[in-house]
């Protein structure tokens, strides 16, 4: 069964800036820059019919291109930090596209997304990183991530069946047009 999620790709110019952040934190497994992405809707492992329905619903989305801005760094996991991410500044265009992706998932027969949407680009997975070391890293590096880019398409990615993780494969791409 394919494991799928829809996402926005991170342009190479932005990835080049994010690469500068890949050091100085022990316990971090830095994500390969080729795998940087912003998840719109995680689908998970689904059967072929569900995958087809979701893909079809995605192809019917009509939305305009928009700008996104990276907005500092943060961590997930609180006192047991498990990931470092670059945040994304609030964006109406992104909200619209995310809602359209949620509708497409429902049209594909998937249950509603229960989690709050927190747009981000994961930069590292953490194992056993100390919270104070994470805080120091964020303090040191946080100013760097402030890049703007234009989103003119989104994609359907597959990750490794069941287990997840990269390399992610672009299964389909959906242009955004005015």
Binding-site ranges for Mg ion (CB under 5 A): 164
Cα–Cα distance, 21 to 167 (Å, whole number): 20
Structure tokens at 41: 């809707």
Residue 75 interacts with ligand ATP (CB under 6 A): yes or no: no
Residue 165 interacts with ligand ATP (CB under 6 A): yes or no: yes
Residue 159 interacts with ligand ATP (CB under 6 A): yes or no: yes
Minimal distance in Å, beta carbon 16 to ligand ATP? 20
Residue 77 interacts with ligand ATP (CB under 6 A): yes or no: no
Handedness of CA 15, 16, 17, 20 (dihedral sign): positive
> Residue from 27, 33, 42, 66 that binds ligand ATP (CB under 6 A)?
42
Could you tell which of ligand ATP, Mg ion, none binds residue 3, using a CB distance below 5 to 8 A set by kind?
ligand ATP
**Residue number with the smallest Cβ distance to ligand ATP:** 164
Residue 98 interacts with ligand ATP (CB under 6 A): yes or no: no
Site of interaction with ligand ATP (CB under 6 A): 3, 5, 39, 42, 115, 122, 125, 159, 164-165
């Amino acid at each position: 069964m394919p494991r799928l999620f829809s996402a926005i790709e991170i342009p190479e110019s932005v990835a080049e800036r994010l690469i500068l952040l890949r050091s100085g934190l022990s316990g971090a497994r830095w994500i390969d820059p080729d795998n940087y992405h912003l998840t719109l809707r995680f689908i998970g492992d689904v059967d072929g019919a569900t995958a087809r329905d979701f893909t079809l619903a995605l192809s019917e989305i009509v939305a305009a291109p928009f700008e996104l801005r990276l907005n500092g760094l943060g961590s997930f996991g609180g006192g047991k930090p498990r990931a470092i991410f670059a945040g994304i500044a609030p964006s109406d265009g992104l909200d619209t596209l995310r809602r359209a992706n949620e509708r497409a998932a429902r049209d594909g027969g998937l249950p509603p997304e229960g989690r709050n949407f927190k747009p981000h680009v994961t930069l590292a997975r953490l194992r056993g990183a100390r919270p104070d070391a994470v805080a120091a890293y964020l303090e040191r590096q946080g100013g760097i991530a402030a890049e703007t880019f234009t989103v003119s398409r989104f994609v359907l990615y597959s990750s490794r069946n069941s287990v997840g993780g990269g390399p992610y494969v672009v299964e389909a791409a959906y242009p955004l047009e005015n």
